[in-house]
């Protein structure tokens, strides 16, 4: 594929080729993330100033910005250092002052010659009964008045960059914005009333009122859609190249699956059955599977994943399940073991701890095909780990596993089907941004027999009641988690540290009853403390959030979260999901420090009222925004300059289906629209995607 199309060269030239931009400003522009003229096109004004002409400043109520034509009167230079320089001016009705600090008088004499007319625009204020305009934003000759728009766009700034400079550079960039072929589907464009690309860019930089600055304006919607479409095309191309990689058809016989279903004391939910059917169909096809299994806490992902692993085994191959940490790998092993026994399948664990002879024996059994399902950490990817016939990899907890790792897994030479499991319900718009390259199965029903968790809000003043409640529960043989917000004592935040809480609870509940886990503990100690709690030796586990991912202790039925108001919604929901896994009625106590702010109250009440993780996630997105929700640093979320994932989530879904349709109809992007789409990818700097377009 040839390089960047020539028509785009002017947009990818140096910033210094723009009017008014020298080496120093070019350097300063980098602070706005602007390195090329194209970046300026996508740096839109965030507000605007009404610069419509008035006959007199009397037409506005000060303080306000006003634009009037005046006759320049007398100059009054400062009498002493540090005093302002004043120029008297008169509009059609009233005299007022222009005020300048640290100004050179020769400069002002030239700018505002007495007796001449000038157009001035700036903020008028009343000071000691006198109307003043301090440092007007614009002073123009009457014949230059046309240069001042009636509504002036206001751009984001950074050190060393002024509005004037941005406006000039943008004008210079707009002058070279080429007329590009249309990549948006004509029917969609007509239905939405979107302008052409060139017109959209111009309109977005020349708002005529506040409505043009909103995300809903047609020009901005169109530019946001371009961004989302380019992003979804990149994901769709990744998906296409992955599927094009020769897959292996793994056809289930149902022999082992039936054994497991017979052994269960419950009926799988409809959502589980749909997910299993979708996965089985994917595995039976020649194309490689790349599927996301998204399910709320306690929705039964383990059973679905194991059924998928059984498809691989029934087809004569092997399956692997990977977890991010050793604790979780062991837990997967424990939850899969009864299912594996029912099916009569050989299940083994491989972690970084396996050494020497034991490790060698496991590797030999894997290579011979004697181990049918392997559970492990990333250790299963080391070079000496060889499978006889690996068909399926199940990857737990997506966040640590982005698109690039998914591709790498495929590149391991095996045409492995991939199933990614995540317990974090993600709103649709974000899951499309993050996993648009994958097909998604959602488990949105709770298995029968799951008891609801009762959730209560309690102020920190009632902590003694909570401890008394714990003492009674322990006497009845129950276990509890107590989650603290921070480990190090922090004066600033006054958050009770885990160590302090641990000592206090130990003093009231007794030695040996309370355990402690936090992030600063060495791994071996952490594992040991967890193991004691799992075994029921300790009854209360004081912990920082290390327990949020995946720990399973059916006997634990109480969750106390201290200073719940400083946790995120998704995090609180994950923590609460650690209880309610056994037969006992479970409770979650959200302890907050009064007074609760508006957003804190809203978050905690929402949790009290619902256990639906998807509803909680949607609300979380609305309250916090996309970057925060996934923690942008490690989220793998693209940085959009114009598109707003919270307010334009519907556009993302359209972009995904559009991108998939384009590639389905024209995988080589050879048609006229396909060529236009390539142009979009170059414009949006998606070179990686361009490399994925099949060459012949």
Determine the Cα angle at 282 with ends 281 and 286, to 5°: 110
Does residue 213 carry a pLDDT above 70?
yes
Average pLDDT value for residue range 80-94: 88
What is the rounded distance in angstroms from the CA atom of residue 350 to the CA atom of residue 117? 85
**Chain mean pLDDT for the chain:** 84
Q: Is the pLDDT of residue 570 over 90?
A: no
Q: Looking at beta carbons, which pairs linking 5-9 to residues 24 or more positions away fall under 8 Å?
A: 5/678, 5/679, 5/682, 7/178, 7/180, 7/679, 8/38, 8/178, 8/679, 8/682, 8/683
Q: Is the pLDDT of residue 519 over 80?
A: no
pTM score, two decimals? 0.65
Contact 19, 184 (CB under 8 A): no
What percent of the chain has pLDDT above 70? Answer: 88
Q: What is the pLDDT of residues 529-561, one digit of tens each?
A: 888 888 889 999 988 765 644 567 778 899 999
- Kindly indicate the confidence band of residue 171, based on its pLDDT and cuts at 50, 70 and 90: very high
Q: Name the pLDDT band for 2 (thresholds 50, 70, 90).
A: low
Distances (CA, A) of 29 to 50, 165, 174, 683: 26, 10, 17, 20
Rounded CA gap, 503 and 520, in Å?
Answer: 17
Rounded Cα–Cα distance for residues 69 and 119 (Å): 4
What angle, 0 to 180 degrees and rounded to 10, lies between the N-to-C axes of helices 428-435 and 218-244? Answer: 50
Query: Tens digits of per-residue pLDDT, 67-77?
Result: 998 989 899 98
Q: What is the pLDDT of residue 408?
A: 57
Tell me how far apart the alpha carbons of residues 573 and 560 are, in angstroms, rounded to a whole number. 13
Any idea which of 321-325, 537-541, 691-695 has the lowest mean pLDDT? Answer: 691-695
Q: What angle do CA 52, 53, 55 make, to 5 degrees?
A: 145
Average pLDDT over residues 605-626: 74
Q: Has residue 629 got a pLDDT over 70? A: no
- Are the C-beta atoms of 14 and 169 separated by less than 8 Å? no
Find the mean pLDDT for residues 202-226: 91
Radius of gyration of the chain (CA): 32
- 414 pLDDT above the threshold of 70: no
What percent of the chain stands above pLDDT 90? 33
Is pLDDT at 428 greater than 70 in this prediction? no
User: What residue ranges of the chain are covered by domains with CATH 3.40.50.300?
Assistant: 256-443, 453-610
Q: What is the pLDDT of residue 229?
A: 93
Q: CA–CA separation, 335 vs 454, rounded Å?
A: 25
pLDDT category at 377 given cuts 50, 70, 90 is confident
- For residue 501, what pLDDT is reported? 85
Reduced to 3 states (helix: H, G, I; strand: E, B; else coil), residue 87 is strand
Q: What tens digit of pLDDT does each residue of 6-48 get?
A: 999 999 999 989 888 889 989 889 888 899 999 999 999 988 8
Residues whose CB falls within 8 Å of the CB of residue 143, separated by 6 or more in sequence, listed in order: none
Contact between 182 and 200 under an 8 Å Cβ cutoff? The reply is: no
| Rounded distance between C-alpha atoms, residue 552 and residue 533, angstroms | 11
634 pLDDT band, cuts 50/70/90, is very low
CA-wise closest residue to 437 among 320, 304, 292: 292
622 pLDDT more than 80 = no
Which helix or strand (DSSP H or E) is residue 320 part of?
strand 318-322
* CA distances (Å), origin 416, targets 381, 395, 526, 544, 554: 13, 12, 34, 37, 34
Q: Comparing C-alpha atoms, which of 173, 170, 198 is closest to residue 183?
A: 198
Confidence tier at 409 by pLDDT (50, 70, 90)? low
Q: What is the pLDDT of residue 308?
A: 95
Q: Which of 118-122, 249-253, 326-330 has the highest mean pLDDT?
A: 118-122
pLDDT for res 160: 84
The distance between the two most distant Cα atoms of the chain, rounded to a whole number of Å, is 101
* pLDDT for the residue 465: 92
Residue ranges, comma separated, of all CATH 2.40.50.140 domains in the chain are: 52-148
3-state helix, strand, coil in the chain (%, to 5): 45, 20, 35
How many C-beta atoms surround the C-beta of residue 488 within 10 A? 11
Q: Is the pLDDT of residue 93 over 70?
A: yes
Task: Give me the pLDDT at residue 546, please.
Answer: 56
CATH 3.40.50.300 for domain 453-610: yes
- Read off the pLDDT of each residue in 101-123 and give the average, rounded to a whole number: 89
Output 198 or 267, whichever has higher pLDDT: 198
User: What pLDDT is attached to residue 338?
Assistant: 92
Which residues make Cβ contacts (< 8 Å) with residue 28, sequence separation at least 6?
158, 159, 160, 161
DSSP string, 200-217: HHHHHHS-SSGGGGSTTS
Between 3.40.640.10, 3.40.50.300, 3.90.1150.10, 1.10.1510.10, what CATH number should domain 256-443 receive?
3.40.50.300
| Residue 399 predicted with pLDDT over 50 | no
Alpha-carbon distance of 12 to 203, in angstroms, equals 21
- Is 52-148 assigned to CATH 2.40.50.140? yes
Q: Which of 38, 39, 42 is nearest to 176 (CA)?
A: 38
Contacts of 586 (CB under 8 A, 6+ apart): 451, 453, 454, 557, 558, 559, 579, 580
Structure-model confidence comparison of residues 488 and 119, the more confident one: 119
Summarize pLDDT for 113-159 with one digit per residue, the tens: 988 899 999 999 988 888 899 899 899 998 888 778 889 898 988 88
């Amino acid at each position: 594929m040839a390089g960047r199309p020539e028509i785009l060269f002017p947009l990818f030239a140096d910033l210094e080729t723009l009017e008014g931009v020298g080496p120093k400003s070019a350097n300063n522009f980098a602070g706005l993330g602007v390195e090329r003229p194209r970046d300026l096109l996508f740096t839109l004004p965030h507000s605007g100033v009404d610069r419509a002409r008035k006959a007199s400043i009397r037409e506005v109520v000060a303080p306000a910005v006003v634009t009037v034509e005046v006759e320049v009167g007398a100059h009054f230079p400062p009498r002493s250092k540090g005093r302002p320089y004043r120029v008297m001016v008169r509009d059609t009705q009233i005299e007022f002052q222009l005020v300048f600090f640290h100004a050179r008088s020769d400069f002002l004499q030239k700018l505002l010659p007495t007796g001449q007319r000038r157009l001035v625009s700036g903020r008028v204020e009343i000071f000691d009964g006198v109307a003043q305009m301090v440092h007007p934003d614009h002073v123009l000759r009457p014949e230059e008045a046309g240069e001042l728009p009636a509504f002036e766009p206001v751009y984001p700034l950074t050190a060393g960059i002024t509005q004037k400079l941005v406006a000039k550079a943008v004008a210079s960039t707009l002058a070279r914005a080429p007329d590009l072929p249309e990549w948006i589907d004509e029917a969609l464009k007509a239905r939405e009333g979107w302008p052409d690309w060139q017109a959209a860019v111009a309109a977005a930089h020349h708002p005529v009122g506040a409505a043009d600055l909103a995300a809903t304006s047609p020009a901005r919607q169109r530019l946001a859609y371009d961004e989302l479409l380019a992003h979804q095309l990149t994901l769709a191309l990744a998906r296409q190249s992955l599927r094009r990689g020769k897959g292996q058809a793994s056809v289930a016989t149902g022999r082992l699956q039936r054994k497991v279903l017979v052994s269960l004391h419950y009926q799988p939910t409809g959502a589980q059955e749909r997910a299993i059917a979708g996965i089985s169909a994917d595995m039976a096809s020649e194309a490689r599977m790349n599927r996301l299994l998204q399910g709320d806490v306690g929705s039964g992902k383990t059973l679905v994943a194991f059924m998928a692993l059984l498809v691989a085994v029934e087809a004569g191959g092997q399956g692997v399940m990977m977890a991010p940490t050793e604790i979780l790998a062991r837990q997967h092993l424990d939850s899969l073991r009864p299912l594996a026994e029912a099916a009569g399948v050989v299940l083994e664990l491989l972690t970084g701890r396996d050494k020497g002879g034991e490790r060698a024996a496991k590797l030999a059994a894997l290579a011979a095909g004697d181990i049918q399902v392997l559970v492990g950490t990333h250790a299963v990817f080391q070079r000496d780990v060889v499978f006889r016939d690996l068909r399926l990899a199940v990857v737990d907890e997506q966040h640590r596993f982005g698109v690039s790792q998914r591709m790498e897994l495929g590149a391991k030479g095996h045409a492995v089907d991939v199933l990614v499991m995540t317990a974090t319900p993600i709103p649709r718009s974000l899951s499309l941004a993050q996993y648009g390259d994958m097909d998604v199965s959602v488990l949105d029903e709770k298995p029968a027999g799951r008891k609801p968790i009762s959730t209560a809000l309690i102020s920190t003043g009632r902590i003694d009641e909570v401890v008394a409640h714990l003492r009674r529960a322990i006497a009845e043989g129950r276990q509890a988690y107590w989650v603290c917000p921070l480990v190090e004592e922090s004066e600033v935040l006054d958050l009770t540290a885990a160590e302090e809480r641990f000592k206090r609870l130990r003093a009231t509940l007794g030695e040996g009853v309370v355990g402690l886990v936090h992030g600063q503990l060495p791994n071996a100690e952490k594992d040991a403390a967890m193991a004691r709690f799992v075994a029921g030796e300790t009854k209360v586990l004081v912990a920082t959030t290390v327990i949020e991912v995946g720990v399973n202790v059916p006997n634990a039925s109480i969750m106390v979260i201290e200073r719940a108001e400083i946790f995120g919604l998704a995090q609180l929901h994950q923590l609460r999901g650690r209880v309610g896994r056994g037969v006992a009625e479970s409770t979650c106590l959200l302890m907050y420090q009064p007074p609760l702010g508006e957003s804190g109250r809203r978050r905690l009440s929402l949790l009290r009222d619902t256990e639906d993780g998807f509803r909680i996630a949607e609300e979380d997105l609305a309250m916090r925004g996309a970057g925060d929700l996934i923690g942008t640093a490690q989220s793998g979320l693209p940085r959009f300059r114009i598109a707003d994932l919270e307010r334009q989530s519907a556009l993302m879904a359209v972009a995904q289906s559009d991108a998939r349709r384009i590639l389905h109809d024209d995988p080589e992007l050879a048609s006229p629209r396909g060529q236009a789409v390539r142009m979009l990818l170059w414009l949006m700097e998606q070179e990686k995607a361009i490399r994925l377009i099949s060459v012949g």
